[in-house]
């Protein structure tokens, strides 16, 4: 299975670090890069072929995934809102993709079962409503993971100290999805 990983935002945070915790300064781009590298390691150990690209250019990301002919595309992010009480994890899929919904559910379940996070569920991204560019423009079965809220003190601590647990959960979710697809064949 060919898995394309996209840690969100610009490498090294330049020019766009994504969300930043206003108190600690923890940056989404750094967390996503670390989790992505760990997911890659676990997936390769499980026998998957993995490509990874962190870029500020969404067209470059989706083109690279499509040109590589990925089976699965996973974009890794941290959520953030002005309300510091908002917390939890959620996984997004293209709104009409049954396979994408299944992938999102597999990853969501593994994260929620592995970490003390609020289950915000899986959500469909629809172009023109709440569409996410990478989900709309990627040919592979795709999911965007909002690991936790970098703007919430408890979630931020998990993002800082439990990156390996997030990575293991994401990798297990991907291999769970692969097994479900294999079982249906």
Task: Encode the chain (185 residues) as per-residue pLDDT tens digits.
Answer: 999 999 999 999 999 999 999 999 999 999 999 999 999 999 999 999 999 999 999 999 999 999 999 999 999 999 999 999 999 999 999 999 999 999 999 999 999 999 999 999 999 999 989 989 999 999 999 999 999 999 999 999 999 999 999 999 999 999 999 988 767 75
The pLDDT, as a whole number, for residue 68 is 98
- DSSP annotation of 55 reads -
Q: What is the CATH number of the domain that holds 108?
A: 3.40.630.40
Range of the domain at 109: 2-184
pLDDT of residue 83: 95
Give me the sheet containing 89-94, strands edge to edge: 49-52, 2-7, 72-79, 141-149, 89-94, 119-125
To 5 degrees, how large is the angle CA 119–CA 91–CA 2?
135
* β-bridge partners, 101: none
Residue 116 CA to residue 40 CA, distance in Å, equals 23
Assigned token pair, 163: 């990156």
Name the DSSP class of 80: -
Q: Of 133, 76, 64, nearest to 104 (Cα)? A: 76
Number of domains in the chain: 1
Closest among 69, 35, 79, 60 to 170, alpha carbons compared: 35
In the numeric block, which tokens belong to residue 112? 């929620």
pLDDT at 98: 95
Instruction: Output the pLDDT for position 182.
Output: 64
Q: What is the pLDDT of residue 181?
A: 78
């Amino acid at each position: 299975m060919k898995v394309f990983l996209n840690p969100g935002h610009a490498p090294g945070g330049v020019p766009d670090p994504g969300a930043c915790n206003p108190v600690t300064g923890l940056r989404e781009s750094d967390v996503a890069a670390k989790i992505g590298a760990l997911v890659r390691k676990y997936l390769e150990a499980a026998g998957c072929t993995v490509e990874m690209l962190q870029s500020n250019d969404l067209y470059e990301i989706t083109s690279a995934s499509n040109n590589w002919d990925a089976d699965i595309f996973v974009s890794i992010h941290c959520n953030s809102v002005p309300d510091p009480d908002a917390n939890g994890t959620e996984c997004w899929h293209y709104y009409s993709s049954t396979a994408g919904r299944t992938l999102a559910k597999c990853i969501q379940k593994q994260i929620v079962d592995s970490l003390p996070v609020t289950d915000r569920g899986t959500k469909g991204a629809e172009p023109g409503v709440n569409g996410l560019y990478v989900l709309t423009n990627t040919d592979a079965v795709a999911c965007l993971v909002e690991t936790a809220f970098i703007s919430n003190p408890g979630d931020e601590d998990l993002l800082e100290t439990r990156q390996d647990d997030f990575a293991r959960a994401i990798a297990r979710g991907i291999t769970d999805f692969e097994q479900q697809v294999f079982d249906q064949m």
